[in-house]
Structure 1
Amino acid sequence: MKPEKLKPQASPMQDPHRVSEAREKVLEVAIGRAVRNFRRQKGMTVADLSSQTGLSIGMVSKIENGITSPSLTTLQTLAHALSVPLTSFFRRFEERREVMHVKSGEAVVKERAGTRAGHQYHLLGHIGANASGVIVEPYLITLSESSDVFPTFQHDGIEMLYMLEGEVEYRHGDQVFLMQPGDSLFFDADAPHGPEKLNKLPSRFLSVISYPQAD
């Protein structure tokens, strides 16, 4: 079976270089997003929320879009209608955004579940519970002369590989991909996967695994 090649798309789903507008950083926008998210979680329409709070549909819309600054009384009314604490509207604005810088040679060597002989994992960074609801684990993996092939890893989440050095035949499900420097592989990690044949050693590649954080 021939490997599936990436097909060009008309436009990316999200611009990775987009700069947030100044208005997205203010308190009103954070409150508006929180109100909208809670409303949607309750399965309510803007009209439903308007009816329960006595606010006009236009006012609810302005609040959700961060166009107006709601009074404390209005926020209390919204919190009551949505059955959430008043303080929950401010959490996103006050959240601390984590960052981790790992200097060359300082990555943590880690034994992952199912790690095989000669598979060296260097964890390049880790951020725990966060606002995105997603955990991401970036690894630098080195396969040495003594590496054991093991094409049946399985775990939750999505994984992306980027080949840096060497050459490996990497299996995912019933397909095998020849991985050479500059090649990438993006896949559902719940299917059996892993290096099936080590053609050129040592081999090094980046592995980025993402999965939903536990509730």
Structure 2
Amino acid sequence: MAPTRAAVCSASDSLVIPARKGGRPKKDMRVPDRRSKAAKDETETASYITGSGAPAAGATSLEQALGIQVRSIRRQLDLTVSDLANAAGISVGMLSKIENGQISPSLSTLQSVARALNVPITALFSTFEERHDCSYVKAGQGVVIERRGTKVGHQYELLGHGLGGDIVVEPYLITLTQEAVPYTSFRHGGVEFIHMLSGEVVYRHGDRTYHLRPGDSLMFDSAAAHGPEELITRPMTYLSIIVYSRQAE
């Protein structure tokens, strides 16, 4: 007695659907998947990430975007890989890996590269951030950096990265510790906004001074000399937001 279910596939690898009792097997007319294993694996990976066959969003990683930006700025300055590596105090191999997006460089390395390129560290992330409209930083997880002109006891925590476009916004949480010393000669392009969170300070801008307490705010043209002139209650913290044109970087 002949079996009622088909047990084999044809030579063309087409599927065979079980036949009804007493009938002939019905050939499945669907086109067989003849892709390579690598192509199948790629689709399966994309489906796992996105929940569909669509490419995963943000295919360019932070490391790749960072490398592209470093290379772009270096070439704009007409520097060779060796020139920039020497100026930043890192090896040529390390810089090549950074530009090719092969490693996640440390903050100190990024600071050295940014300083050698004479750009703020946020400029290195601008290409990546252009693809997003939001920058989220959890409490206490901002990047602690040293800005040009930073003095002893002045701690800067960067609270967000630039989002691209023609305007650069640098939000900082600034802490003046017990060891902080007055300094009123900060100068840089753009506009700065300060909002006092704790402590008290007499803040100078140009030829005028302002006594700032928690809740007080000050906004000024930061091309004029400015900074804390008298530290009344230490430690103190305030929010500082610096805004300037990207062309001035």
Match status 1:207 vs 2:236: no
In structure 2, what is the equivalent of residue 172 of structure 1? 205
Structure 2 matches for 1:18-167, cutoff 5 A? 96-130=131-165, 133-167=166-200
Indicate conservation of the 8 Å contact 2:155/2:175, yes or no.
yes
Return the alpha-carbon distance in structure 2 between the equivalents of residues 156 and 193 of structure 1: 12
Identity of counterpart residues, as a percentage?
A: 50
Q: Which structure carries more relative contact order (alpha carbon 8 Å, separation 6+)?
A: 1
Indicate conservation of the 8 Å contact 1:164/1:203, yes or no.
yes
> Which structure's CA Rg is the greater one?
2
Letter in 1 for 2:183: F
Letter in 2 for 1:105: G
Number of residue pairs aligned between Structure 1 and Structure 2? 119
Indicate conservation of the 8 Å contact 1:170/1:193, yes or no.
yes
Letter in 2 for 1:127: G
Gaps of 5+ in 1: 1-94
Indicate conservation of the 8 Å contact 1:166/1:200, yes or no.
yes
Gaps of 5+ in 2: 1-129
Return the alpha-carbon distance in structure 1 between the equivalents of residues 164 and 168 of structure 2: 7
Post-superposition offset of 1:99: 1.4
Letter in 2 for 1:123: L
SS of corresponding position for 1:195: strand
In structure 2, what is the equivalent of residue 65 of structure 1? none
TM-score (norm 2): 0.46
SS of corresponding position for 2:247: coil
Letter in 1 for 2:231: L
Letter in 1 for 2:201: V
Post-superposition offset of 1:128: 4.9
Return the alpha-carbon distance in structure 2 between the equivalents of residues 143 and 96 of structure 1: 35
Q: Deviations over 1:77-124 (max 9, x none)?
A: xxxxxxxxxxxxxxxxxx844311000110000100000000000000
In structure 2, what is the equivalent of residue 15 of structure 1? none
